[in-house]
Amino acid sequence: MKMLRDIIHKLKIDPRIEKLIFKEVELPRFLDDFNSLNEYWYPHPPCFIPLFLGHGASYKGINNHFFCERKVTYTEFFLENGYISEIARDSNQFIALIILKMIIIKDGVTEDIISFCDSVGFADYEIIDKFSIEFGDDPKNFEKLIYFKEKLPFKNIKNLEDYNGDFPSSLTILNANLENAALFEIAPTESLNEVGNFPLWLEINNEINNVDVFQDYLSKNLLKEAWLLLNKKGWLLKDVAACLEDLKVKANDELFNLVADNWIEGWKKSTFLDGNY
């Protein structure tokens, strides 16, 4: 977990989130969707950095890209459907989601919820409680939720013109610019058939040899292309690990080394040595 802490520091992730990850601030026991990463490692693309283990083979974490202009954002990854969803665009939104979930479970603000809010310096729980009374936790109304009004995550967007971030898709809407998109960030992938002329790293029919194309990109110093290719579907995990090692040499970047080594270490300790994504 030391590498994860170093990654968090390098990315300047909110210290409140760090304390939750490493249990320096305890989440209430009734909230069982934000578990320690020590319990399991699921196959996931390296652009996704898990922070919490959730229900049913799922993670909550952050998406961080290299070699292209993409902002760090809070995401959720479900192994079953192979899709990464943008759920929060900053730490206040992420913590607000946690508190909203607590209030829904407990049907109101309780002493342990207030205690948790105090421990993370979150004073707006009464506003979230009022939202829950009127709207529950319906994501269709998140434009009315505190911290979400000015910059909705793509998951909560109804019309593309209302989105001012750079995430590639929601479950129903495809963003216009896909040049810096990873395939795991697009759902449903069949929507790409309507785009045409998309890059190889968004190829959905496994008609290319990922390793060969990766090595070709690397030989041409096309690091963005090589990175995004690693984050498409159709890889053996052992090939991802080997290619990350090759890309580390070309990148010569401390943060990239940390992210790559953290992924490789998790894979090596997992039960998915012969797995794929």
- The domain limits of the chain are 2-199
Looking at residue 84, what is its pLDDT? Answer: 97
Count of H helices and E strands in the chain?
9, 4
Tokens of 1: 């977990």
Give 161-217 pLDDT, tens digit per residue: 999 999 999 999 999 889 999 999 998 888 888 787 889 999 988 889 999 999 999
| Long-range contacts, stretch 185-192, CB < 8 angstroms, 24+ apart | 185/47, 185/63, 185/83, 185/84, 186/83, 187/81, 187/83, 187/85, 189/233
pLDDT band, very low/low/confident/very high, at 269 (cuts 50, 70, 90): very high
Looking at residue 17, what is its pLDDT? Answer: 98
User: What are the CA-CA distances from residue 118 to residues 36, 84, 99, 247 (Å)?
Assistant: 22, 31, 12, 43
Please, which residues have CB within 8 angstroms of residue 188's CB and are 6 or more apart in sequence?
Answer: 171
Which residues are registered as beta bridge partners of 58?
78
Closest CA to 60 of 28, 101, 30, 24: 101
Please, which residues have CB within 8 angstroms of residue 197's CB and are 6 or more apart in sequence?
Answer: none
